[in-house]
């Protein structure tokens, strides 16, 4: 083999090894919750935990599944209310609790055609400005919150949209 050919093969191998060692910032993956009855794309490997919460006097177990990338949290919360009316009533309670958590003012939210509520607010978290976007919806006795929280000005709008729009009930 000619030296030039060997040199080019060596360059190609070195480039391939270099690229193989790189990992993308957003490593999108499908996630399905058998318990929650939903699927969504997470930008990194998520983890889950369940804890009791109080939604305006209604005590329920809520499971949060979340992943963090560069200081931005992508999360889905789900739970089961005693009935469909209670699940629907949980939506504004969850929205209000999240707004209160970041010290943002609550403004009235009108449900969309599917009865879901949305949120887009700026507040403070850990003493720094944060942005919150997401939506809240119910199906039967199940309720869901799909949210993205990150530093104001550096939260990736495209990735937030990809995450929230990928959420689908099964």
Domain ranges across the chain: 25-169
CATH 3.40.1190.20 applies to domain 25-169:
no
Q: Which tens digit of pLDDT belongs to each residue from 44-70?
A: 999 999 999 999 899 999 999 999 999
Residue 42 CB contacts under 8 Å (≥ 6 apart), including other chains: 28, 29, 31, 65, 67, 74, 163
Tens of pLDDT, residues 21-48 = 445 789 999 999 988 899 999 999 999 9
154, 163, 110: which is closest to 131 by C-alpha?
154
Per-residue pLDDT reduced to its tens digit, 94-150: 999 999 999 998 777 888 888 899 999 999 988 899 999 999 999 999 999 999 999
- Three-class SS string for 52-73? EEEECCEEEEEEEEEEEECCEE
């Amino acid at each position: 083999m000619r030296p030039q050919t060997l040199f080019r093969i060596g360059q190609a191998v070195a480039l391939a090894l270099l690229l193989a060692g790189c990992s993308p910032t957003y490593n999108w993956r499908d996630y399905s919750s058998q318990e929650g009855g939903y699927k969504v794309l997470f930008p990194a490997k998520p983890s889950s935990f369940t804890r009791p919460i109080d939604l305006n006097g209604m005590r329920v177990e809520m499971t949060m599944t979340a992943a963090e990338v560069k200081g931005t949290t992508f999360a889905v919360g789900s739970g089961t209310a005693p009935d469909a009316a209670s699940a629907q009533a949980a939506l504004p309670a969850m929205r209000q609790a999240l707004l209160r958590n970041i010290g943002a003012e609550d403004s009235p939210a009108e449900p969309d055609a599917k009865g879901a509520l949305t949120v887009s607010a700026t507040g403070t978290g850990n003493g720094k400005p944060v942005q919150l976007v997401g939506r809240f919806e119910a199906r039967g006795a199940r309720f869901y919150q799909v949210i993205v929280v990150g530093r104001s000005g550096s939260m990736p709008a495209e990735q937030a949209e990809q995450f929230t729009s990928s959420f689908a009930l099964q």
